[in-house]
Amino acid sequence: MSDTPSARPQIAPPLPATAVKPAGQAAAKASAKAAGKAGLKPAGRRRLRLPIAAVLVAGFGSLMLAAVASVLVLGLVSASTNTFALLNDKADLALAGVEVRVRHQLDPAREMARFVAGLIERGDLRAGDNTAMIDTLRGALAGAPDVTGLAFVRPDLTGVRVGRLNGGLAADPIDLQGDSDIPPEILDGPNRSAATWADPRWLKEAQNSFVTLYQPVRRDGRYLGQVAVGVSLGDLSRFLSVLYVEQGLNAFVLYDQSHVLAHPALVGRSFDFSGKLDGPPLPRTDQVDDPALAALWSSGVPVQSLKKRVEARAVQVLGSDYIFLTRKMSGYGQQDWIIGIGYRDGELNVEVRRLYITGAVGLAILLVSVGVALLVGRRISRQVARLAEAADRVRAFEFRAISDLPDSRLREMARAATAFNAMVAGLRWFETYVPKALVLRLMRQRETEGGLDSVQREVTVMFTDIRGFSRMAEHMAAADTAALLNEHFTLLAACIEAEGGTVDKFIGDSLMAFWGAPEAQEDHAVRGLRAALAIHHAIRADNRRRVAEGRAPIHVRVGLHSGPVVVGNIGSDSRINYTIVGDTVNVAARIEELSAALQGESEVIVLTSGVTAAKGKDAVPLVRQGGRSLRGRTGMTELWRLVLEEEKKDAAKAAAVAAAAVAPAAPPAALPPVAGETAKPVFAGKDTP
């Protein structure tokens, strides 16, 4: 900051207390009143508040206990009522599972057909480009192991196909023109818009029967052909054999009561249905190595089933009893398929024994579920408790003491933690620019006094300045200048806040602070003088460190004055500062400015008005400087200076050195002057006001 008077900041003239109510403050006050009217006052009766840990733990535990226990009890009661009912329930679930798995085995064909048809309809794949079509079909087929073959047939009955052959993919062109055995679904393609499954067909080249899905393709209403996706029935039998090995389910799929679509016993079997005209190209039930299945419809006796969709039949073959449960499955051709599961009679007793095992396992699951529910409840409650604890620290403005909230596997908790951590990071920056102590005091004042209107207060104002800072900064880099100011202001702010003062603003290399607001402080003058004394000691100690590091010391000026000011929220709608205005501020600034003429070589000079000196009697050692004229003011202002004992000694030594330097040279025979005869500094007035 420049040391010339014209370059110093001009302090706003004093404002009457009744005039300082900007629009921003009025809006804040209006919002506060509206909040009070909106019912934000504490209720007359205290509400019962439960800890979230208890709610979550008890809630999860009790709900899990009720849910699992009720399901377990109902399951055991219903299962123990009738063994056959248990068999029907399990069989129905098993049939549903088989149906789902069969559909999952076939449905990829539908997705693949839609994918390829979509490419053609959008123009990404040209229907007449056989090379690109083969490449696309190869890629699609490579990613769908459940699909056996893929083809595209154009309206002229030509096209291309790609199929699995000997562990690889083989592609060849298609030409059905003149073929007498064209599937009706291909001929009916121009008349359809939806995909349709065809009945099983025998493919001589692959020596296997297939079920095929045909998906018409149109672009702008014009028929471009059909995508055909084939699934081998041999693959479906292999799937059922895996199901038999993994779950022990003897499942099968029938085309009708006489023909078998898929059965575990068909794995490894080969049939030749070339030229077969009577019925579909499928093996008959008596051709499968399953005598019970062969007798299912001829000698099987219907039995009562508890499920409407399930048909039960009892079969006796070679002295063994079997129970077959079947249900129909539609969606894959004009005729409904039949899915079924066969059980040996001895397996019924196994189910009874499993009933007791199920009860024991269910009880164990119940205990584990309740334990997991309690554990999850505790984990969630801990996360919420950490969030609440951190929120309490935010309320107390302890931003630096808040640790980052950990991430969570729960999406909402993770979002809350991320948002909270970002908020705290922003508040830490907010704390850098807004004094935390001031905000806390304003909050307490609002709670106790109900508002922050501008009022007149008796305060003590302090201004500080670095002597010769402009010349010093001229030879420093910008980063070094900023570092010096940050270090300097941190030193001063610590001394001021230790005495309950408020740092109002930083102006270049100057600092403005005050005592007595927002909280009333009867000893505001004493606090200000003690803070000035602390600054005096801190600057001298810091200068010793700077000199030891080879850096130049800094010289600081401090001015204090006490008197009435207007204090409150002052500013505009977009920006409001809690600050003070008045003649007292001007006087304090002028006293600090005047101290430049009295500082000399002192590292720190502290000048205070007689008003502050009188209010802070005996707080610090003061020496009267007499009346002085301040710039821009009429009359004289009595000033006092803070002088410590060590400064008196330093001043005496400096005066002795100066006197010796200007004294005339003594004759050769003369004795050297006596040290005690050197001039002593004169401190006007008393040492205390």
Tens digit of pLDDT for each residue in 281-316?
Answer: 888 888 888 888 888 888 888 877 656 678 888 888
**Nearest 5°: CA angle at 482, between 477 and 488?**
125
**CA 495/CA 509 separation, integer angstroms:** 17
pTM as predicted: 0.43
| Range scoring the smallest mean pLDDT among 79-88, 186-195, 199-208, 357-366 | 79-88
**DSSP strand pairing (510-515 vs 250-254):** unpaired
Nearest to 285 by CA among 269, 267, 297, 268: 297
Can you list the pairs that 190-195 forms with residues at least 24 positions away whose Cβ atoms lie under 8 Å? 190/155, 190/216, 190/223, 192/216, 193/218, 195/110, 195/113, 195/114
Judge whether residue 446 has pLDDT over 70: no
Three-state SS string over 663-678 comes to CCCCCCCCCCCCHHHC
For residues 170 and 163, the answer to whether their CB atoms sit within 8 Å is yes
Give the model's pLDDT for residue 436.
Answer: 60
Give the model's pLDDT for residue 79.
Answer: 62
For residues 247 and 264, the answer to whether their CB atoms sit within 8 Å is no
Give the model's pLDDT for residue 560.
Answer: 96
Judge whether residue 483 has pLDDT over 70: yes
How many other β-carbons are positioned within 10 Å of the β-carbon of residue 424? 20
Class in CATH terms, 452-653: alpha beta
**CA 614/CA 637 separation, integer angstroms:** 13
390 vs 134, higher pLDDT? 134
The tokens for 300 are 């099987």
pLDDT in tens, 546-579: 999 999 999 999 999 999 999 877 777 777 777 8
**CA 262/CA 240 separation, integer angstroms:** 7
For residues 241 and 152, the answer to whether their CB atoms sit within 8 Å is no
Share of the chain above pLDDT 90, in %: 22
Angle between helices 411-433 and 346-395 (to 10 degrees): 10
User: Domain residue spans in the chain?
Assistant: 84-344, 452-653
Judge whether residue 515 has pLDDT over 90: yes
Give the model's pLDDT for residue 493.
Answer: 93
* Structure confidence at residue 684 as a pLDDT band (50, 70, 90): very low
Give the model's pLDDT for residue 86.
Answer: 60
128 vs 44, higher pLDDT? 128
**DSSP strand pairing (604-609 vs 556-571):** parallel
Mean pLDDT of 72-90: 66
CATH fit for domain 84-344, picks 3.90.550.10, 2.60.40.10, 3.30.450.20, 3.90.1150.10? 3.30.450.20
Q: Where are the strands (E) in 131-241, listed by range?
A: 149-153, 158-165, 168-175, 196-197, 201-203, 208-219, 222-232
275: number of CA atoms within 13 Å, CB side? Answer: 0
* Structure confidence at residue 80 as a pLDDT band (50, 70, 90): low
**CA 313/CA 292 separation, integer angstroms:** 11
Give the model's pLDDT for residue 17.
Answer: 41
Mean pLDDT of 461-477: 91
* Structure confidence at residue 443 as a pLDDT band (50, 70, 90): low
> Measuring CA to CA, how many Å separate 140 from each of 102, 108, 111, 135, 287?
21, 11, 10, 9, 35
**Which residues partner with 169 through β-bridges?**
164
Cα distance from N-terminal residue to C-terminal residue, the chain: 32
Nearest to 294 by CA among 267, 324, 273, 270: 324
Can you list the pairs that 34-39 forms with residues at least 24 positions away whose Cβ atoms lie under 8 Å? none
For residues 116 and 134, the answer to whether their CB atoms sit within 8 Å is no
The tokens for 369 are 């579920």
DSSP 198: P
225 vs 272, higher pLDDT? 225
Q: Which amino acid is at 41?
A: K
**CA 108/CA 118 separation, integer angstroms:** 15
Give the model's pLDDT for residue 563.
Answer: 94
Q: What value does the mean pLDDT of the chain take?
A: 79
Can you list the pairs that 392-398 forms with residues at least 24 positions away whose Cβ atoms lie under 8 Å? 394/423, 394/424, 394/427, 396/440, 397/431, 397/436, 397/439, 397/440
Q: Which amino acid is at 188?
A: D
679 vs 121, higher pLDDT? 121
pLDDT in tens, 390-415: 888 777 777 777 788 788 777 887 88
| Range scoring the smallest mean pLDDT among 127-136, 221-230, 598-607, 644-653 | 644-653
**CA 527/CA 562 separation, integer angstroms:** 11
* Structure confidence at residue 686 as a pLDDT band (50, 70, 90): very low
Give the model's pLDDT for residue 40.
Answer: 40
* Structure confidence at residue 635 as a pLDDT band (50, 70, 90): confident
Judge whether residue 18 has pLDDT over 90: no
Give the model's pLDDT for residue 512.
Answer: 94
Nearest to 233 by CA among 218, 212, 251, 217: 212
Judge whether residue 45 has pLDDT over 90: no
